[in-house]
Each structure stands twice: as structure tokens, then as C-alpha cells.
Structure 1
Amino acid sequence: MTEEKYTIRKYKRILFYVVICVLLAAFLLGQYIYPSEREPVTEESITYTGTFYRVLADGTKEEIPVPGKCDVPAGEPLVIRSVLPQDYHENTIAIRSSLENVRIYIGGELRAVYDTENTRPFGKNSASGYVFCETSGEDAGQEVRIELQSFTDKYSGVVNTVYCGDKSDIWAYMFHCYFMVTLIACAMLFAGLVVLIISLVLDIIYKTRFDLEYLGWCMLLGAVWMLGESKLRQLFVSNASILSNMCFFVVMLCPVPIMFYIDSVQQGRYRKVYHVAECITCVNFVLCTALQLLNIADFISTMFLSHLVIAGTFLTIFITICRDLIKGTAKHYKLPLIGLVAAMIAVMLEVTAVYRVVSLSGIFIATGLVVLLVVTLIQTMDRIRELELARQREARESLDYLTGLPMRHKGEKLILEKMQEHDGCLGFVDMDNLKKINDVYGHKAGDRALRLVGAMLTECMENAVVCRLGGDEFLFYLPAASEAEMSMRIRKLFDSFGAAKNVTAETSPASLSCGLCMCRQGGNFEEYYIKADKALYYVKQNGKNNYRFYEELEEQQPDAQKLDGIPGNQHDIQ
């Protein structure tokens, strides 16, 4: 009587899921219907409304728009001033730097300094970030002076929005604006890691590479890009400069996993073309990194080179896809093709946005990669199904349905692998009197006797590779076995089989004959196979129900090519 697997009753599970779904729906509905209990924080409520003036070299002033951009050469500081209102009572003034050093003075007193010269690994510019300056009601009517300095033409003279208010309110507004993008980046980072782990597990199980591996790297790079571009990055890393530099490394390296992915999808048809493109990507990476480390040109200044490489990569991929469409070979990867096109369009939108005022912060990249992930998962599940069906078919074809042992082809392959790794003993086993059992008791009785041989070999030859060659013949290989140990194992096999076969009269006529050959690691399988077969032949010609080592025959007669009628002492099996 077999024990049934216990499961929770179906109605209990359904009831539990219904309750959970109702509670979730009630929560979402309540958040939507009922008014907010938080005081609303809007951009207008935290934006500084005073007028800013730029201080020119001759000491004169001119009013400037904030946010805005002034014509300031790279490396020269931009100085802007304003006067706090008489009723000023806020505790914070904040401004976001754009690759700028920032100094904030209140009433001539230096209150806040942002300069990463001693904390960044290389480069001239400080990473972009929010700079907060503490204030109080006592500063009402005082002059605010802000100095901004960037060493890159594109960002020199940039003035972002100046905020004032409670610091928590300012951060709350930033969370309201940018939290979702940052959350998506974290989700992509987690998904990328999960995809990589799954691909490695599938690689171990099925001994083959999956496209998911390269997609996982694409998602990780995309997540790093989004986190590096996040306005909230200074909250979740201690050194924002390093994270911002990682964005540039991502841009330079992102063509590599993309080409790995499409090359795998296209099954290596354009491997040479992609190899050239990969080399160009590596050259660009080394060149731009060297220019940054030598303080000749910042990553931001050489970014156009990386963008050209990305554009060239996508053009190469586009050409190969067009060739496959013309030849009709693209139908084999039509699903990944849809996702790949979506991802490439998203990347190009992000690259284009760099040269415009609006920053997309990776949201389009995330969308494109999600589309690519979905279609790749569908493709992967189809491939897993095919591999699983093939593996099940191979298992059915390679296993003997009667004994459960590997068949000849599979067994000899496994023995050959073991023989390359260890010394051991190769043994031929033949069940005697199968025809007699079949003739007297029927084929069912013969099958039971064969199953008994398989069971005894599995039990007595522990750690050995055992297979059925066909009919009444079996083959095994026991690694790291000495002749003495082998003799002990064979005697145990004969004793166990003798006791088991005598339980019923139908199998009692059966007996075993065995030929053995000691093997050296890395030896010739065919040679040992022939020797074990000759030892078995000798036993069969000399009374059966015994075993013999080929080495003993060699000692008795140096020319062991002919074993018929060779005299010698057999091992008596009682």
C-alpha cells in the first residue's frame, strides 16, 4: 500500500486566495477614493521665487532666468546672487548641480560646499547631485550667493531650479517625481540577476547555453544605467561619483552583450562580422578610459564616440536581420526579433535624448528590455520543452525497459568515460540456461530471471557502471577496483544471485558466467572489451557458473589469442 501525498483541500486554498484578493482590492480602492492625509508638496511650494542676478567680471549685475544657462567658458565659475525676503523662515536652500562644483554663501558666510575632487576616482567634474544649505529665519534679508563651476562646455553655466523649504519636503517632492523610475531600475537589477541565475541553472541541467544569459547581462547594464542616471542616486550609494562613472562604462560596453545575444539567436551565421564589431567596442572602451584616466578628456566629452559605436552596432545588426529576412532564415527567431527591434529603438531614443534638454533616465531602455525579456522567456520555454522531450526520448531509448539498466550504446559510453578517469575492472556477465527457462516455464519466467540478474548486479557492484548488452549478456565497469576486491564482489554476486534464484522453481535453473579484465586508466576500451569477452568465452567452454580473469589465462598461456580448451584452475562457486 503506497502512501498518498497529502494536500490542502481545494476549497480552503480558493477561499484563502479570494480573501487576499478582496483585501488587496479594498486597499487600492480606499487609496483612490479617500482623500490624502499628507500635506501636498508641489514644485511651486518649494521653489525659491526670488530674483537671481549674475555677477559679471566688471562687477555689474544682470538678471538671469532660473532655471537657465549662461554663456560661461568651461572651467570659469558662474556667480549668481539673490536677496532672501524679509519674511524668510525656511530651513533649507537646495540646488542640483550638473557636473558642477557648488559653493553657497549666506550673508557672506560659506554655508555649503560640494566638490568631489578628493572623493572621485578620476576626471575633472563633480558628479551631478543635490546640494543642501542650512538656513533659518535669522537669515531673512541676507544675500544668497551661489558659485557654480564645470569643466565641460555643455554644462558650464547651467543653473538648475533653486529650492527652499523644509529638507524633508524637498526630498518628498523628489521622491514623487523620480521614485518610480528608480524602483523600475531596482526591479530590472533584480530581474537581471534572476535571469542570470536561471540561465546558469538551465546550463547545468541541459548542458547548453541559453539566450537568457546574454539578456540577463543586458538587463543588468540597463539597470546600472538607470540607477546611475537616477536623481535619487546619492540616497542609496555613499559615493555617487563612482556610480555616475559606471553609466559611462555601461554605454561603452552595452554593444557587447547585445551582439552576444543576437549572435546566439542567429546561431553564429554572422560571427565574424560581430567579432569585428566587438573588437571596435573594446578599442573604444580602452581609448575613452585611457583619455579619462590621463585627464585629457572626460567621459562626457568622448561620449559621442560610444554613441557612434552603438549606432554602428545597431546598423550591423539591422543589416544581418535584413539578410536573414531575405533568405527566410529569420523565421527561426521571429519572437526575439520583435523584442530586439523594440530594445534597439529604446536605446536609440535614450541616446538621442542625451543631446536634448529632456532626460529620459533609462525609462525607454527599461521598456524595450522588458519586451525583449518577455519574448525571450517564451522562446526559452519552447526550447526547454523541446530539450525535455528529447531528453525523455533519449532516456526511453537508452534504458532497458526490462531491467532498468542502460542499453548497450549508453552503457558503453558511460564505461568509456569512467575508464578515462580511473583504473578498474571490466566484466562480462552472461546468464546461463535462459533458453531452457523460456522453453520450460515461458518467456515471462525468463524475463524475471533477467530482471533478477540486473538487480543483483546493481546491488553487488556498488559504484559500478552496469548495462545490458542484449539477450542474456551484461557488462559492467568497477572503477578503482583491485583484483582481490573484484574477486570478493563477484563471489558476493554469485552467492546473492544463487539465493534469490532458488526462491522459485521457474528461475532456479539460471546461473552466471563472468569474464573479467583489469584495466588501466586511459586504456583502449576495445582491447579490454575483447579480453573480458575471451575470459567469459573460456568460462562458458569450461562448465559455466564460474568467473575468470583474463590475466590468469595470459599467465597460463602467453599466446592468449586462442582460448578454446585452455586448461587451468577455475574458481569454484559453491
Structure 2
Amino acid sequence: MITGKKKLTEEKYTINRYKRIVFYMVMVMLLLAFLLGQCICPSERETVTEESITYTGDFFWEKADGTEEEIRIPGRYDVPAGEFLVIRSALPEDYNENTIAIRASLENVRIFIGGELRTVYDTKDTRPFGKNSASRYVFCETSGEDAGQELRIELQSFSEKYSGVVNTVYCGDKSDIWGYLFHSYFMVTMIAGFVLLAGLAVLIFSLVLGVMYKTRFDLEYLGWCMILGAVWMLGESKLRQLFVSNASILADMCFFAVMLCPVPVLFYIDSVQQGRYRKIYHVAECITCANFVICTVLQVLDIADFITTMFLSHLVIAGTFLTILITIIRDIIRGTAKKYKLPLIGIVAVIIAVILEMTEVYRAVSMSGIFVGAGLMVLLVVTLIQTMDHIHELELARQREARESLDYLTGLPMRNKGEKLITEKMQKLEGYLGFADMDNLKKINDVYGHKAGDRALRLVGAMLTECMENAVVCRLGGDEFLFYLPEVSEAEMNTRMRRLFESFEAAKNVNAETSPASLSCGLCMCRQGGSFEEYYMKADKALYHVKQNGKNSFHFYEELAEQ
């Protein structure tokens, strides 16, 4: 009958598994069909191209000496830092758009229509520190009444790198302009958001694993790498003004992320390499922190802004990666890199990605972190694979330790483990130490066999666990047990012991083979922080007293001492 039930259960499990497989196959097919349809089928939305929203009028640069020069936009022109670049254009006679827009690159912006100041962008009253306004898109409302009027744009940056920069000027419906910007930059921003959420999830997951297994995981440091990388990507996003109220603070956080990113990277590689190059990495960490402090102080004091000192951070990052590469090459030569071959793939991917991003910055082309995001994803995948292997090893070690430290018969901790747990509990809380002995084990073994003796011992363990709730219980060996019950009064201890003896008496008499068994127990009151050896001897003396006086009872050492 039991076999039939088991077989039926297995058949049900098999059916459920097949249903699950079919469901997943259907879901994957639907996802693939959706992606394929998006690629093959024509678009149903109105297409907004850059050409359709780009202002095509001629622009003239009004120079400080009063002369003018026709210029091409976008472009960069020779304007000293801190001075205004003034450009003007005449709106067409048939102009009928509702928005003029331009991207400010660390610039203050003023837009005039027909001599009237329509829009001002200057963050001097909203940014925490620094001279420049954060980069963003600046919009100016217009209408058909502005046709034929002069469009005048004034740009001012206090950074040599961005002074004189003029980006594309857009005109059209504001929703169309935003639609084009979304189409161009949303994917990068979404990747940044995904990396941020993934980094937070990885960090929380690693901390939970650390609590469970009482060890550190490489995932923790990778989580911080991903968070800093995502902050940088979001700070570089062209759409950042949409999801934060103060873009200047996010821009500063972007620079902080760049300056501090070597720290979790060094933590990660140091953990992967098991501390072999910790002293070298410690020096690199100190250099990173010094660069962070120096650049921040220079920015706060308006001596040099972050964009000016960014090359220092890039040098620190380059030096960090060069140091890591040297240690990796040394490990490869010595054969120790085999121990972290999976993370090695991800580390190389990230290094290549960061080098590409840094190169693009100096070519005045921003990839907004696409390469870094891809590199971090590769590193995440290989680190997760290694973490799963690590968890598997820890689980095997835990099971091995459990087999070695738990009594297979009663399921209680054995002597070494139990005494250690009791000592730890005794150092924190006062309570009562009990030394219990099952009487007549030899008689039960001789008359009914060792199986009956085993059942009696299991019964003792079960009763101690049940009646001594919140106690640490262990089997010392043979017929001896030890338990420690914290934070109980003498009266409550008496009650617990009477309940233990009554419960054991009722349980053992259910089976004739275990009925000869009885309990003897010696108890000792323990002070917090006291000596385990001292209280163990006292409890043993109280047990000896019970054994010498008829067994099947319990006695407190304090009563024995008074006698």
C-alpha cells in the first residue's frame, strides 16, 4: 500500500514537471515571436528624425571685438573660459514651431527671441558647489508670432574644455523633440537603470549569503562596482533631467563614482586572488582616496572643477588596471590564475570596456557607459557561476560538519559541539546546567537488545528537547546528556524537571522494551561569564548524589552544598 502511494506521488511529480517545461517553452516562444515581430514588421509610430527637428537657419557668431562670423552648428569655437559665446539667427518668415531647444554642455544658457529674454538656464543658486551648470537640454517656448524675429543664444562655460561649444539647435514640437531624444538615448538609460537594480540586488543577495554562511562573497564587491558604474552611466545619460529634480547633484555623483570606482574593483580582485597582493592593492586604494579628497577639495573651493581634474582620476584608474594586469600576468605565469579563471574573463572584459570608454571621452564622443555596462554584465555572470560553486562547497562542508558534530542516534550535538555551544551561551546569560543520565541502559541492552537501548536513548533526547525549550542540549556519549537552560528561576527549573520526569515516565511505558529506563539528573545554577569546567563538576557531583540515593530523581548542587 505504501509503495502504491509513493509511486502515485512520483507520477504526479513527473506530470507537474512536464507541464512546467511546456509552459516555459511556450513563454520563450512568445518572447521570441515578439522580438522577431518587432524586427520584421513595419513600425506603426510616427518617425521623428534628427533632420526633421533640427533648426536649419544660418547662425552668426558675434565676437567680442564687434565683428561677426558665420559658423556651422554643432561646433566649437575659440572663446576664453568664463566669457559668453553669442550666436544669432533670423527665424524664418513661415516659422510656426512651439519650441527651440539646445543642449548645454556645462554651460549657462540665455535665449532671446526678438530681443526678449525668454529662457535662462543657470544653476548658481541650485548646485551645491562648482562654477559650471550641469549639462542638460534647455527649452524655449516659441510660436508663429515669432516668425522673422532674431534668435539669440548666449552660452557661457567656466571650463576650458567646454567653453565655445555649440551643440545642435532643435526646433519643433516639444513632444517630438523629446520623442527623438528618447529614441536615441532611452536604451542606454534603461541599461544603466538595469545595472543599478542588478547591483543593489547582488549587494543584498551577497550580504544575506554572508549572514547565512558567515563568510564574505566576491559578489558583495561586484555589487558596489555595478552600483558605481550605474551611477556614472545615469550621470552621463542625456535624459537625466527627467528622472531627478536636481541634475547638478547627479552630475557630481557621476564624478564621485569615477573617482571611487577603483576601490571596490580592488576589493573584488583582492578577494578573488585570496589576498596575495593585498599590500600592493592597499597602496592603490590609498592613492584613490587621496585623489578623491584632493579633487573634491579643489571643486568645493572653486579652484578647479571636476572636469578639469578628471585626467587625474583617469590616471588613477589606468594605474589601478595596470597593477591588476601585472598581478594577473604573474598569477598566470605561476599557475595560480587557474583558481579564478572564470572571474578572470569578466575582469578582462571590464578592463577593455573601461579603456574604450576613457578613449571615447578624449575623442569628445560619449558612449554613456554602453561598454562598461556590457563588461559588468559579463563579470556578473561569471561571478554568479563561481558563487554558486562556492555555495555548493560550503554546503558540502556544512553537511560534513553536521555529520561530524551531530549524534546520528538522537540528532543532538555531540560532546565537543555541545560543550562549545553551552560555554558560549553561559558567557552571555545565567541559567542552570543539567547533567542527565539514563539509568538501566545495560539492562535494556542485555534483555531486549541494542535496538531497544537505542530507542530509549532517542526517547531521552526527544524529551529533553521538548521539555527544556530554549535550552542547549547535547549528548556526551553513552547514556549521558548535558543541557543548559538560560534565564530561568529555581522554581521554574523545578517545574521543568518535574515535567521532564513525568513525560519520560509516560513515554517509556508505552513500550515494554523501554520501560526499565529511568532518569537521574544533577543541576547547578550558573552565573553569567562563569567557568564551564567549574559548573560541570558541580552538576556532576549533584548527579552522583542522585545515583547514590536511589536514582530516578534530580537534585540541585546548591542544596547539596548546604547539606
> Are 2:95 and 1:83 equivalent residues in the alignment?
no
Aligned to 1:554: 561
Q: Which amino acid aligns with 1:444?
A: K
Q: Distance in 1 between matches of 2:271 and 2:451?
A: 52
Shift of residue 529, structure 1, vs aligned partner: 1.2
Q: Which amino acid aligns with 1:293?
A: V
Q: Distance in 1 between matches of 2:348 and 2:28?
A: 37
Q: Which amino acid aligns with 1:32?
A: C
| 1:87-166 matches, cutoff 5 A | 87-166=94-173
Out of 501, 506, 509, the residue aligned to residue 499 of structure 1 is 506
What's the secondary structure of 2:161's corresponding residue?
coil
Out of 338, 341, 350, the residue aligned to residue 343 of structure 1 is 350
Aligned to 1:526: 533
> Are 2:363 and 1:360 equivalent residues in the alignment?
no
| 1:368-447 matches, cutoff 5 A | 368-447=375-454
Out of 238, 248, 271, the residue aligned to residue 264 of structure 1 is 271
> Are 2:499 and 1:487 equivalent residues in the alignment?
no
* CA offset digits 1:187-211 (Å, max 9, x no partner): 0011011101101110111111111
* CA offset digits 1:451-506 (Å, max 9, x no partner): 11111111221211111111111111111223332223222222221222222221
* CA offset digits 1:230-281 (Å, max 9, x no partner): 0111111111111111111011111111111111111222222222221211
What's the secondary structure of 1:145's corresponding residue?
strand
Q: Distance in 2 between matches of 1:538 and 1:12?
A: 66
What's the secondary structure of 1:453's corresponding residue?
helix
> Are 2:223 and 1:210 equivalent residues in the alignment?
no
Out of 461, 478, 485, the residue aligned to residue 478 of structure 1 is 485
Q: Distance in 2 between matches of 1:359 and 1:114?
A: 23
Shift of residue 375, structure 1, vs aligned partner: 0.8
| 1:240-259 matches, cutoff 5 A | 240-259=247-266
Q: Distance in 1 between matches of 2:270 and 2:20?
A: 46
Q: Which amino acid aligns with 1:125?
A: N
Q: Distance in 2 between matches of 1:419 and 1:447?
A: 30
What's the secondary structure of 1:39's corresponding residue?
coil
What's the secondary structure of 1:63's corresponding residue?
strand
Instruction: Single out whichever of 136-145 and 1-10 deviates more from structure 2.
Output: 1-10
Out of 442, 448, 452, the residue aligned to residue 455 of structure 2 is 448
Q: Distance in 1 between matches of 2:462 and 2:17?
A: 41
Instruction: Single out whichever of 314-323 and 229-238 deviates more from structure 2.
Output: 314-323
What's the secondary structure of 2:170's corresponding residue?
strand
Q: Which amino acid aligns with 2:176?
A: D
Q: Distance in 1 between matches of 2:139 and 2:501?
A: 87
Shift of residue 401, structure 1, vs aligned partner: 1.8
> Are 2:192 and 1:185 equivalent residues in the alignment?
yes
Q: Distance in 2 between matches of 1:161 and 1:288?
A: 31
Q: Count matched residues.
A: 556
Q: Distance in 1 between matches of 2:278 and 2:33?
A: 55
Q: Distance in 2 between matches of 1:482 and 1:36?
A: 78
Shift of residue 221, structure 1, vs aligned partner: 0.5
Q: Distance in 2 between matches of 1:423 and 1:45?
A: 81
Q: Which amino acid aligns with 2:112?
A: Y
For residues 33 and 330 of structure 1, do their structure 2 counterparts lie closer, same or farther at Cα, with a shift above 3 Å needed? Answer: closer
Q: Which amino acid aligns with 1:82?
A: S
Q: Distance in 2 between matches of 1:111 and 1:52?
A: 19
> Are 2:272 and 1:236 equivalent residues in the alignment?
no
What's the secondary structure of 2:65's corresponding residue?
coil
Q: Which amino acid aligns with 1:470?
A: G
Q: Distance in 2 between matches of 1:84 and 1:492?
A: 97
Out of 285, 307, 313, the residue aligned to residue 320 of structure 2 is 313
> Are 2:284 and 1:277 equivalent residues in the alignment?
yes
Instruction: Single out whichever of 84-93 and 1-10 deviates more from structure 2.
Output: 1-10
Shift of residue 39, structure 1, vs aligned partner: 2.1
Shift of residue 396, structure 1, vs aligned partner: 2.1
TM-score w.r.t. length of structure 1: 0.93
Q: Distance in 1 between matches of 2:103 and 2:157?
A: 13
Q: Distance in 1 between matches of 2:300 and 2:548?
A: 83
Q: Which amino acid aligns with 1:245?
A: D
Shift of residue 403, structure 1, vs aligned partner: 1.4
Q: Distance in 2 between matches of 1:204 and 1:421?
A: 21
Q: Which amino acid aligns with 1:371?
A: V
Q: Distance in 2 between matches of 1:165 and 1:68?
A: 21
For residues 30 and 271 of structure 1, do their structure 2 counterparts lie closer, same or farther at Cα, with a shift above 3 Å needed? Answer: closer
What's the secondary structure of 2:171's corresponding residue?
strand
Out of 290, 298, 307, the residue aligned to residue 305 of structure 2 is 298
| 1:325-336 matches, cutoff 5 A | 325-336=332-343
Out of 44, 51, 56, the residue aligned to residue 51 of structure 2 is 44
What's the secondary structure of 2:127's corresponding residue?
coil
Shift of residue 291, structure 1, vs aligned partner: 0.9
What's the secondary structure of 1:292's corresponding residue?
helix
Q: Distance in 2 between matches of 1:30 and 1:506?
A: 75
Q: Which amino acid aligns with 1:384?
A: I
Shift of residue 155, structure 1, vs aligned partner: 0.5
Shift of residue 13, structure 1, vs aligned partner: 4.4
For residues 14 and 412 of structure 1, do their structure 2 counterparts lie closer, same or farther at Cα, with a shift above 3 Å needed? Answer: same
Where does the alignment leave 5 or more consecutive residues of structure 2 unmatched?
Answer: none
Shift of residue 26, structure 1, vs aligned partner: 4.3
> Are 2:295 and 1:288 equivalent residues in the alignment?
yes
Shift of residue 547, structure 1, vs aligned partner: 2.0
Shift of residue 23, structure 1, vs aligned partner: 4.2
What's the secondary structure of 2:117's corresponding residue?
strand
Instruction: Single out whichever of 164-173 and 538-547 deviates more from structure 2.
Output: 538-547
Shift of residue 12, structure 1, vs aligned partner: 5.0
For residues 31 and 323 of structure 1, do their structure 2 counterparts lie closer, same or farther at Cα, with a shift above 3 Å needed? Answer: closer
Q: Which amino acid aligns with 1:351?
A: M
Instruction: Single out whichever of 533-542 and 99-108 deviates more from structure 2.
Output: 533-542
Instruction: Single out whichever of 213-222 and 32-41 deviates more from structure 2.
Output: 32-41
What's the secondary structure of 1:172's corresponding residue?
helix
Q: Distance in 2 between matches of 1:25 and 1:460?
A: 59
> Are 2:77 and 1:70 equivalent residues in the alignment?
yes
Q: Distance in 1 between matches of 2:33 and 2:287?
A: 56
Q: Distance in 2 between matches of 1:373 and 1:268?
A: 21
CA RMSD of aligned residues (A): 1.9
Q: Which amino acid aligns with 1:194?
A: A
Q: Which amino acid aligns with 1:129?
A: R
Q: Distance in 1 between matches of 2:367 and 2:322?
A: 23
Q: Distance in 2 between matches of 1:183 and 1:412?
A: 55
For residues 304 and 34 of structure 1, do their structure 2 counterparts lie closer, same or farther at Cα, with a shift above 3 Å needed? Answer: closer
Instruction: Single out whichever of 215-224 and 510-519 deviates more from structure 2.
Output: 510-519
Out of 21, 36, 42, the residue aligned to residue 35 of structure 1 is 42
For residues 217 and 302 of structure 1, do their structure 2 counterparts lie closer, same or farther at Cα, with a shift above 3 Å needed? Answer: same
For residues 331 and 27 of structure 1, do their structure 2 counterparts lie closer, same or farther at Cα, with a shift above 3 Å needed? Answer: closer
Shift of residue 10, structure 1, vs aligned partner: 5.1
* CA offset digits 1:24-46 (Å, max 9, x no partner): 44443443343222222111111
Q: Which amino acid aligns with 1:499?
A: A
